[in-house]
Chain A
């Protein structure tokens, strides 16, 4: 994973609460064995009409939303299924961060693993961002990982929480699978002292 320090990107708002992972990427796109092509399925129920043509009313299809890299969404974003296809689809579409008052636990964990930043802000800042997106659609924000702040166009800085380990991994491009493999000795020691009777081989 490439290190991430700052993201400067155009924001687009999807001010709905509890956007579930079935909306982010419907199940019909899960019958893949790769990560390819998931960007096309992002929000497909909303993005496309029944005949497959783009729905011009949907925010991502509007001209002013093109090139947006930061999604602003309502609370409990990513609820429901554990499908990592949801953050994969957001990333494949071009999003680098999602800003919301809260995220579902599994979505947040999945997003952090692949470098899609789940940015939690207070409700006032969220409301402000939604208004900005509506009133000045070309607005860009700056997300700075080291200082854990989002800078709005007026210079106002909003802090966000982030687990120290995730931050370290994102800033330095640390691969978590690589990190966990380095714990081999400790894992072997644990296995030696904690035998489990279970054997799935029968």
Chain B
């Protein structure tokens, strides 16, 4: 009898060009390499300097997302790029893709968008694949039962030239979420609760596999939200076993197998879930029924509380360094220990990002906003994750709901999640954001970020203060 294997082990084993030895890491084959303008230029420079080629341009695809503006199109239907650095970076990507024959989703074109939104929606992301990108949120694609993780620019060069990476096998961690989520409690709240419980370093060295009743009940988009923030818990990758929900999502997508090929692929994908009795190196647990909407108060994604709770006190911190970290974080955020966040005034609302910039996220936010208006003095930015999400939202009239409420409806991109373009939160202002990181200065120098679900962010938009979305539903 063969040893039961986890989902991760099955994907890993199927991609070993050379197995690892005590002296050498495995040579791991990469099925899909996603690239964007920010972390690829130096890698192309390197392979060009060595006279190397891109080994598999047919397994490589590029989009523009990080440094692109999200300002409305001009009269010619073009998204104007004015930042000289961004212009240079985008031009460099065009040149690199043209020279090496890599398809590119050009800014403003129908398929362009955030790399982790376009991969799945185009059907590029498929179960059992190995997927990498020079971006830590590549973990998103694990929602399909792919092994997907972020890499640095040196490794981008490795994959361009060889379609492989040198990798040591990670350990596995089963993350079980039992029970059912209550109304108004979303996938974002699950992952924020997990990171609050186990910390931002809790997953270091592990690949997460999310499982349990609550996970199985989630849509693909919700699963992507969870896998996306695995990296915020320290895990380089997070995976969810493919099932009917996965296959249904993929059917008919442009790059997914079609017809009989699709049926054959599904038959193959059905063998991917972890075997009964497969051993994990570590386990984590959450009870879905206990969860409420979450919000962060500090400067890393682990500094989160139930929205009905209070900011921790220094005394509640176990060790001196955690106390110091909390003290510094609260000073930056200008929040008081022991006080609730409910009712705290906010200045800006950001709905978007690879975490929560998909159509279901926009539907949720629009559902809550509909018939209401954005509170006076609050700026609300809605940034679709891709041009396709934008088109779909417009077809459904969501843009009209947002605009009628007084929100800004913008072009697709990473936007205020990392504020590489002009979409910034002003210094000292509070943003409630559906993105993934609340680091010091992440959304602009001096910005104060409260991470939450799109639903919670939308609730704050209409009241102007931190609000439990369940009270408005």
Query: Which A residues lie at the B interface, using CB under 8 A?
Result: 15-18, 20, 22-23, 26-28, 30-35, 45, 50, 74-76, 79-85, 87, 102-106, 109-110, 113-114, 163-165, 168, 176-177, 179-181, 183-184, 186-187, 190-191, 194, 196-202
- Across the interface, name the chain B residue whose C-beta is closest to A111: B152
Q: How far is the CA of A30 from the CA of B414 in the complex (A)?
A: 14
- Across the interface, name the chain A residue whose C-beta is closest to B22: A164
Chain B 323-341 interface residues, beta-carbon cutoff 8 Å to A? 324-325, 328
Contacts of A109 in B (CB 8 A): 151-152, 155
Q: How far is the CA of A45 from the CA of B322 in the complex (A)?
A: 21
- With an 8 A cutoff between CB atoms, is B60 at the interface? yes
- Segment of B23-31, B175-183, B305-313, B386-394 in the binding face: B23-31
Q: Beyond A33-B88, A113-B154, is A199–B27 a contact (Cβ under 8 Å)?
A: no
B325 and A18 contacting across the interface, CB-CB below 8 Å = yes
Q: How far is the CA of A75 from the CA of B257 in the complex (A)?
A: 44
A31 and B124 contacting across the interface, CB-CB below 8 Å = no
A18 and B200 contacting across the interface, CB-CB below 8 Å = yes
How distant is B415 from chain A, measured CB to nearest CB, in Å? 12
Q: Beyond A104-B204, A165-B24, is A33–B41 a contact (Cβ under 8 Å)?
A: yes
Q: How far is the CA of A194 from the CA of B324 in the complex (A)?
A: 52
Q: Which of A81, A181, A199 has the most CB of B within 10 A?
A: A81
Task: Indicate which residue in A15, A18, A32, A165 contacts B25 across the interface (CB closer than 8 Å).
Answer: A165
B205 and A180 contacting across the interface, CB-CB below 8 Å = no
Task: Indicate which residue in A83, A106, A180 contacts B158 across the interface (CB closer than 8 Å).
Answer: A180
A81 and B136 contacting across the interface, CB-CB below 8 Å = yes
A181 and B161 contacting across the interface, CB-CB below 8 Å = yes
How distant is A39 from chain B, measured CB to nearest CB, in Å? 15
Task: Indicate which residue in B157, B300, B420 contacts A30 across the interface (CB closer than 8 Å).
Answer: B420
A22 and B441 contacting across the interface, CB-CB below 8 Å = yes
- Segment of B45-53, B215-223, B285-293, B361-369 in the binding face: B45-53
A82 and B136 contacting across the interface, CB-CB below 8 Å = yes
B418 and A183 contacting across the interface, CB-CB below 8 Å = no
Task: Indicate which residue in A83, A177, A197 contacts B46 across the interface (CB closer than 8 Å).
Answer: A177
How distant is A80 from chain B, measured CB to nearest CB, in Å? 6
B255 and A198 contacting across the interface, CB-CB below 8 Å = yes
Give 11 CB contacts A-B under 8 Å: A18-B300, A18-B302, A31-B67, A75-B201, A82-B134, A84-B134, A105-B205, A113-B152, A186-B27, A190-B29, A201-B57
- Across the interface, name the chain A residue whose C-beta is closest to B42: A35
B168 and A163 contacting across the interface, CB-CB below 8 Å = yes
- With an 8 A cutoff between CB atoms, is B135 at the interface? yes
Task: Indicate which residue in A75, A84, A105, A190 contacts B39 across the interface (CB closer than 8 Å).
Answer: A84
Contacts of A45 in B (CB 8 A): 440-441, 445
Task: Indicate which residue in B89, B161, B168 contacts A177 across the interface (CB closer than 8 Å).
Answer: B161
B58 and A199 contacting across the interface, CB-CB below 8 Å = yes
Q: Beyond A79-B234, A165-B166, is A198–B31 a contact (Cβ under 8 Å)?
A: yes
A197 and B86 contacting across the interface, CB-CB below 8 Å = no
Q: For the A-B complex with A187-B29, A197-B265 known, give 10 more contacts whose Cβ atoms are closer than 8 Å.
A: A20-B300, A26-B441, A27-B420, A31-B86, A79-B200, A79-B300, A84-B152, A103-B204, A163-B168, A200-B255
Q: How far is the CA of A20 from the CA of B299 in the complex (A)?
A: 10
Contacts of A200 in B (CB 8 A): 32, 57-61, 102-103, 124, 255
Contacts of B24 in A (CB 8 A): 165
Q: How far is the CA of A181 from the CA of B138 in the complex (A)?
A: 24
- With an 8 A cutoff between CB atoms, is B163 at the interface? yes
Contacts of B18 in A (CB 8 A): 183, 186
Q: Beyond A22-B441, A198-B32, A200-B61, is A110–B325 a contact (Cβ under 8 Å)?
A: no
Q: Which of A74, A76, A87, A184 has the most CB of B within 10 A?
A: A76
Q: How far is the CA of A179 from the CA of B439 in the complex (A)?
A: 37
